Amino acid sequence: MTEPSVIEEWKRTKTIGIIGMGDMGQLYAEKFAHHGWKVVCCDREERFEELLETSKHQKYTVLRNGHLVSRVSDYIIYSVEAEIIDKIVKEYSPSTKIGSIVGGQTSCKSPEIKAFEKYLPPDVDIVSVHSLHGPRVDPEGQPLVLIKHRCHDKESFPLVEAVVSSLKSKHVYLTYEEHDRITADTQAVTHAAFLSMGVAWYKKQLYPWTIGVNRWYGGFENVKVNISLRIFSNKWHVYAGLAITNPAAHEQIMQYAKSATELYALFVQNKKEELKERLYAAKTFVFGKQTGLLLLDDSILEGYSLSKHVPQEGEETLPNSHLSLLAIVDSWHQLRINPYDHIICSTPLFRIFLGVTEYLFMTPDLLETTIGAAINETAFRADDLEFVIAARSWSSIVSFESYDLYRRQFKEVQDFFKPMLPEANKIGNEMIKTILRHSDRKNSS
């Protein structure tokens, strides 16, 4: 650990620069400045006056462009979309301060590191970071990846550690290759599942929480709805960058669509024994070694619903086939991924999704009920068809590596749900806090 007196000296003499003032860039600027670091930042030049106005009560300083940030900063963080990281680094790298440290905050590190190696002067050290959570999640206690890629100066890495300690996150030390593999394992399929749910509901022009207790009702369904809407309340490029720029993510998103398609085919062909054999094999592979308290408990989620409906006597909720959840466990099995291997380096959404699938597969009789619903009930059959089409659509967009198609599909669904997003985020935040408290107790037991 670096001596406190050294850190105080760094705070007096070092400048932290942030290029890109999106949601995460702003979070970093505010946290670092609040903890006594001198912070300068910028966004696109056309946003300069706007940022000056919105930040006039903040402790950081807004500059006009990345050249001005780069020439004065001792540690520079590029907090921009993965799609444009090469272009932005190329533009501002000539102004990088001699002997400084440069890093990025993109969700896929391969293109980021390649851009740094390609454009940065050789005297510049490279230390990248990635907060494994969204901008609306408190960073305290969340995983923060640090990548010590190129360090000539022995003080470079300790300085970065000291700066990002302002976030009070749990530090995880990886190479950029390890980071990209793990983020694909923990995020690609999770995002594909919730994105596909949103598209399926949009195509049916349906707000699932408005139809009473007949379908999508209860704690289990609250997770699906709230997390799907939470994703669609964020910016599209956050998810596009991970999916399109990370080759490992391609493989997983393709497999997810394939698993959803093949499981649905078993539903409609009434092949119960084949379906059961496949799902129990997946259960053994993914959950076979899990014992003790589950990550999630349906009862703790009952209160987090957007539905205003009060159940009446005699009303009954139909069992769901849960195709979205069955497909993720099946895809983990097909790809030989053990999701628990990376739990220390996972996002809140991944831990929730793992908890939901664990609950479905590990709760006595629930998997049997779900298989029975998939084969015998038709109430969700049309919805499952839309879900399969949506999953295949996302996989096609990713395989085409089309940011434009990704943006268009994401924005269409986002616009459909927009009236509900503020309330969904408020309820979702409380739900996530409850779930993470519960999972922390489980992990410490």
Label residue 85 exposed, middle or buried (CB < 10 Å: 0-12, 13-18, 19+).
Answer: buried
d(CA 111, CA 182): 16
More confident residue, 74 or 436: 74
Q: What percentage of the chain carries pLDDT values higher than 90?
A: 64
pLDDT-based confidence at 206, cuts 50/70/90? confident
pLDDT at 317 over 80: no
Question: Where are the domains positioned within the chain?
Answer: 4-174, 179-444
Q: What is the DSSP string of 366-406?
A: HHHHHHHHHHH--TTHHHHHHHHHHHHHHHHHHHHT-HHHH
pLDDT-based confidence at 145, cuts 50/70/90? very high
Where b means 16+ CB within 10 Å and e means fewer, 366-378 reads bbeebbebbbeee
pLDDT recorded at residue 219: 62
Provide φ and ψ at 251, rounded to 5°.
Answer: -55, -40
Domain covering 4-174: architecture: 3-Layer(aba) Sandwich (3.40)
pTM: 0.84
pLDDT recorded at residue 247: 83
pLDDT-based confidence at 238, cuts 50/70/90? confident
239-293 confidence digits (pLDDT tens): 998 899 888 899 999 999 999 999 999 999 999 999 999 999 999 999 988 776 5
More confident residue, 85 or 223: 85
Average pLDDT rounded to a whole number, residues 202-221: 70
More confident residue, 142 or 40: 40
pLDDT recorded at residue 430: 72
Average pLDDT rounded to a whole number, residues 87-91: 98
pLDDT-based confidence at 301, cuts 50/70/90? low
Pick from 209-213, 226-230, 318-322, 357-361 the range whose average pLDDT is largest.
Answer: 357-361
| Secondary structure, 3-state, 188-211 | HHHHHHHHHHHHHHHHCCCCHHHC
Within 10 Å of residue 22's Cβ, how many Cβ atoms?
16
pLDDT recorded at residue 435: 65
